[in-house]
């Protein structure tokens, strides 16, 4: 305090001095702090007076201090004694040492923290003549500080043992606090990081994102969760970060705390799992495809098997037929020339006998036709294959049935592809095929109708579309010719469709068909390397489809 | 079983009244066929018919009967018609031979024909009209 008084009246001055001293004494008496005064002569302490507060601070009364000049130093904690002495020496030396904090033992035995402050008094020459010591009890404050320190330690310990990265940043985005995990992962020391920003550590890319997140948290004033990416040891790690603002007593944010958990491994595992899942579903669909292919292959095998069985059946029927035919021919011969003999030796007047004989002769002719058909089927004979114009052959076959067609009121429509290539066939055998098909069609239309003969050429599955279930034997891209014979007749009963090519299968009245026509047709088509299919047309009637291979590179 | 009746003479050039009748040898392993052919042919009055039902007897009959034409079944047990025809030709090269065959298709017949080369045939069942016109054709040739 540097207040200077200028008082001229000595009386009045004395009064003022007295007032000041009284006020000072009252002040001293009212403070709980311990105040002592040391009188100094020749740089050495010569007398100490102890203020009233000494009892409150140390437990010892002032007379106890006066009785024992060593009492003061004896209650000072031995470790703090040097500090105290250095301080005192400084004061005696005329310096102004800063206050020191010391431990002392209270008379009741507790340890107390005190703050020791000294103020020197000097004479006109500037020599120290006395100094006052102020000893304040700061135990409470030290305890609080200690607790605070423990709390900080506890917090740091918890933070340091967390597997997550924990960091605290001020409003400018500078690190206030980081944990050990942070140090380990980013290879930095705590002391180096404090005061730095993420930009100094991670480069602008990742740091921009972090700053952006911090700002969102500060703006929102509430905890938020982010995916964050940070590089460490040369690779990017993914973190899930919980960030929240720290608020001061007034509720204003002063820092952002982040707790970041490394989920890189988890993410990788997830990705792996995802990949595995996708691979699994891919292989599952591949399995499904394979299964379908297997099923399809199985179906084809079945179809092939049934075709083989059918072929074997036809073969055995053929072999049997040839043997039977020869055996039947001789009896027919006997009957026929027997009839000739009877014809010439009829008793006159027998009116019915000639017609009986005629019926018998007719029966022999019919039986002979069947046998001829059987033999044709069993051994169609040699093929004379030549490049032929199928359209012309169809025209010619139509001409042969045209008379019958007029009689049956059947109209014949030609829908022939003019660009049809030549096809290598046995002309007479193939004519037999077409005649058979036309006659069948006419017989399916007893009340008249329309026969349409259609030809088309093209590559299988490209220019020429086939029902691949019915014609599995042709390869895609193979050059083919397709002939369709369609009628508007009664169609075919579903349960007959599978038997159409069986020898002796017939739906015609007795004597009209031998049941061999279509089986011979099929045999001829098979021998040409072709295929034939019969099904009901969408609206009505039946449609016969015949497919033959054409030679490659030979289109006319 | 041989089936010789009284009208067949052992040697050629029999009685004058029937000298213009053509001598036909019918060989088939079916007796009913040979018998009916004989009945039908002789009924016409133009033919003298001898029938045989086996290949060996047929060879003997060719020697004894000196036929103007032989109707020969292609398929017989013991010796097929082709072989029999070849053996007949060894002793009697000029006699016309017509095959009777139950092998129905023309291709098959032409194969059988191939064995002895270009011989005509009648496919069973054949009626008498066809037989007669065939005989006419080959006897006058």
DSSP-assigned letters across all residues of A335-358: HHHHHHHHHHTPPTT-SSHHHHHH
Instruction: Determine contact, residues A229/A238, Cβ cutoff 8 Å.
Output: yes
Of the partner residues A330, A379, A381, the one whose CB lies closest to the CB of residue B124: A330
What is the spatial distance between Cα A37 and Cα A486, in angstroms, rounded to a whole number?
A: 139
* Residues whose CB is less than 8 angstroms from the CB of residue A475 and which lie 6 or more positions away in sequence, other chains included: A460
Q: How many CB pairs under 8 A join A and B?
A: 70
Question: Which residue of A lies nearest to B42 if distances are taken between CA atoms?
Answer: A341
Tokens of A89: 């020496």
With cut-offs at 50, 70 and 90, classify the pLDDT of residue A517: confident
Nearest CA of chain B to the CA of A304: how many Å? Answer: 32
In the predicted structure, residue A73 carries a pLDDT above the cut 70: yes
- Amino acid B111: pLDDT: 56
CA dist., res. B38 & res. B61, Å (int)? 15
CB-based burial label for B38 (10 Å; 0-12, 13-18, 19+): buried
pLDDT band at A315 (very low <50, low <70, confident <90, very high): low
* Whole-number pLDDT of residue A510: 55
Say which residue the tokens 């964050």 belong to: A228
- Rounded Cα gap, residues B110 and A456, in angstroms: 38
Per-residue pLDDT at B25: 96
Of A330, A364, A371, the CB nearest to B30: A330
Q: Indicate if the pLDDT at residue A556 is higher than 50.
A: no
Q: Residue B14 has what pLDDT?
A: 40
Locate A123 and state its tokens.
């004479």
User: In this model, does residue A281 exceed pLDDT 60?
Assistant: yes
Q: What residue ranges of chain B have pLDDT lower than 50?
A: 1-17, 113-116
Please, which residues 302-341 of chain A have a Cβ atom closer than 8 Å to chain B?
325-326, 329-330, 332-341
- When pLDDT is averaged across residues A222-236 and rounded to a whole number, the result is 85
Note the Cα B114 to chain centre separation in Å.
19
Q: Write down the pLDDT at residue A242.
A: 94
- pLDDT of A230 reads 83
Where residue A367 falls (left for φ over 0; alpha for ψ -120 to 50; beta otherwise) is alpha
Please state, in angstroms and rounded to a whole number, the distance separating the CA atoms of residues B100 and B80.
Answer: 12
What are the tokens at A463?
């220019």
3-state secondary structure of A247: strand
Nearest by CB to A341, from B36, B100, B108: name it.
B36
Q: Using CB atoms, which residue from B39, B105, B129 is nearest to A379?
A: B105
- Residue A96 tokens read as 């102004």
pLDDT band at A6 (very low <50, low <70, confident <90, very high): low
Q: Do B108 and A340 touch (CB under 8 A)?
A: no
Which residue of A lies nearest to B73 if distances are taken between CA atoms? A330
What is the distance in angstroms between the Cα of B87 and the nearest Cα belonging to chain A?
Answer: 24
Which chain B residue has the Cα nearest residue A345? B43
Q: In chain B, which residues touch A (CB < 8 A)?
A: 30, 32-33, 36-37, 39-40, 43, 75, 100, 102-105, 107-108, 124-129, 131
pLDDT at A508: 64
Q: Are A107 and A61 in contact (CB under 8 A)?
A: no
- H or E element in which residue A364 lies: helix A353-378
Model pLDDT, residue B110: 54
Say what the alpha-carbon torsion angle A150, A156, A157, A162 is, to the nearest 10 degrees: 150
- Collapsing DSSP states into helix, strand and coil, what is residue A469? coil
Q: Where are the alpha helices (DSSP H) in A381-502?
A: 390-407, 427-443
User: How close, in Å, is residue A435 to chain B by CA atoms?
Assistant: 20
Q: Which residues does A407 contact at the CB level (< 8 Å), separation at least 6? A: none
Summarize the confidence of residues A346-352 as an average pLDDT: 82
**Helix spans in A161-245 (H):** 180-186, 190-193, 198-202, 204-220
How far apart, in whole angstroms, are the C-alpha atoms of residue A528 and residue A386? 11
Using an 8 Å Cβ cutoff, are A103 and A112 in contact?
A: yes
Interface touch A364/B124, C-beta < 8 Å: no
Cross-strand pairs, A215: none
CA distance A440 to chain B (A): 24
Verify whether the Cβ–Cβ distance B43 to A344 is below 8 Å. yes
Chain A residues 146-205 with a CB less than 8 Å from chain B:
none
* pLDDT at site A311: 67
Distance of CA A303 to the CA centre of its chain: 41
Confidence band for A476, pLDDT divided at 50, 70 and 90: confident
Is residue A118 over pLDDT 50? yes
**Which pLDDT score is estimated for A497?**
76
Question: A303-317, A398-412, B62-76: which has the minimum mean pLDDT?
Answer: A303-317
**What is the C-alpha radius of gyration for chain A, rounded to an integer number of angstroms?**
63
* A375 in contact with chain B, both atoms CB, cutoff 8 A: yes
What's the mean pLDDT when you consider all of chain A? 85
Q: For residue B116, give Cα distances in angstroms to A81, B52, B82, B98, B99.
A: 154, 21, 6, 12, 11
């Amino acid at each position: 305090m540097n207040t200077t008084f200028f008082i001229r009246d000595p009386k009045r001055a004395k009064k003022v001095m007295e007032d000041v001293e009284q006020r000072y004494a009252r002040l001293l008496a009212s403070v709980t702090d311990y105040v002592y005064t040391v009188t100094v002569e020749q740089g050495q302490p010569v007398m100490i007076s102890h203020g009233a507060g000494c009892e409150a601070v140390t437990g010892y009364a002032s007379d106890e201090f006066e009785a024992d000049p060593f009492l003061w130093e004896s209650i000072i904690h031995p470790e703090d004694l040097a500090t105290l002495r250095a301080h005192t020496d400084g004061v005696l030396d005329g310096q102004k040492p800063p206050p020191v904090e010391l431990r002392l033992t209270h008379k009741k035995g507790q340890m107390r923290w005190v703050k020791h402050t000294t103020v020197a008094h000097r004479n006109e020459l500037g020599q120290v003549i006395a100094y006052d010591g102020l000893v304040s009890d700061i135990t409470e404050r030290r305890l609080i500080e200690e607790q605070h320190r423990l709390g900080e330690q506890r917090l740091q310990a918890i933070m340091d043992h967390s597997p997550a990265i924990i960091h605290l940043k001020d409003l400018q985005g500078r690190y206030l606090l980081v944990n050990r995990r942070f140090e380990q992962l980013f290879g930095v020391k705590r002391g180096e990081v404090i005061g730095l920003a993420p930009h100094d550590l991670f480069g602008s890319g990742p740091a921009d994102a972090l700053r952006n997140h911090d700002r969102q948290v500060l703006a929102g004033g509430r905890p938020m969760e982010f995916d964050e990416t940070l590089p460490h040891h040369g690779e990017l790690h993914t973190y899930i970060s919980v960030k929240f603002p720290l608020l001061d007593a007034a509720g204003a944010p002063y820092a952002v705390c982040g707790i970041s958990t490394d989920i890189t491994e988890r993410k990788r595992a997830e990705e792996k799992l995802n990949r595995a899942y996708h691979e699994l579903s891919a292989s599952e669909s591949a399995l499904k495809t394979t299964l379908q292919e297997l099923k399809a292959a199985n179906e084809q095998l079945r179809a092939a098997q049934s075709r083989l069985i059918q072929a074997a059946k036809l073969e055995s029927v053929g072999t049997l037929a040839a043997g039977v035919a020869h055996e039947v021919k001789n009896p027919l011969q006997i009957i026929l020339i027997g009839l000739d003999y009877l014809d010439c030796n009829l008793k006159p007047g027998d009116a019915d006998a000639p017609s009986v004989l005629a019926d018998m002769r007719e029966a022999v002719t019919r039986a002979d036709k069947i046998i001829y058909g059987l033999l044709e089927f069993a051994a169609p004979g040699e093929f004379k294959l030549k490049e032929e114009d199928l359209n012309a052959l169809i025209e010619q076959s139509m001409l042969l049935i045209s008379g019958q067609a007029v009689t049956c009121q059947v109209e014949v429509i030609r829908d022939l592809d003019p660009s049809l290539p030549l096809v290598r066939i046995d002309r007479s055998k193939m004519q037999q095929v077409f005649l058979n098909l036309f006659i069948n069609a006419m017989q399916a239309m007893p009340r008249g109708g329309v026969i349409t003969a259609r030809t088309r050429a093209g590559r299988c599955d490209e220019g020429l579309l086939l029902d691949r279930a019915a014609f599995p034997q042709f390869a895609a891209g193979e050059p083919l010719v397709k002939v369709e014979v369609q009628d508007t007749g009664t169609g075919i009963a579903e349960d007959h469709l599978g038997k159409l090519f069986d020898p002796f299968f017939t739906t015609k009245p007795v004597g009209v068909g031998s049941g061999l026509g279509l089986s011979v047709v099929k045999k001829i088509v098979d021998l040409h390397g072709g295929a034939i299919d019969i099904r009901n047309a969408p609206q009505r009637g039946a449609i016969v489809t015949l497919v033959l291979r054409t030679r490659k590179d030979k289109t006319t | 079983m041989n089936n010789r009746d009284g009208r067949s003479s052992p040697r050629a050039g029999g009685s004058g009244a029937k000298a213009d009748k053509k001598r036909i040898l019918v060989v088939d392993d079916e007796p009913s066929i040979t018998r009916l052919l004989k009945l039908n042919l002789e009924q016409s009055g133009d033919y003298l018919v001898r029938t045989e039902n086996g290949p060996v007897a047929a060879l003997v009959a060719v020697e004894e009967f000196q036929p103007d034409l032989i109707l020969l079944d292609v398929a017989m047990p013991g010796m097929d018609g082709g072989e029999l025809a070849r053996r007949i030709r060894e002793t009697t090269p000029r006699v016309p031979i017509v095959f009777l065959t139950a092998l129905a298709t023309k291709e098959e017949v032409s194969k059988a024909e191939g064995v002895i080369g270009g011989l005509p045939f009648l496919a069973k069942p054949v009626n008498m009209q066809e037989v007669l016109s065939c005989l006419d054709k080959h006897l006058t040739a």
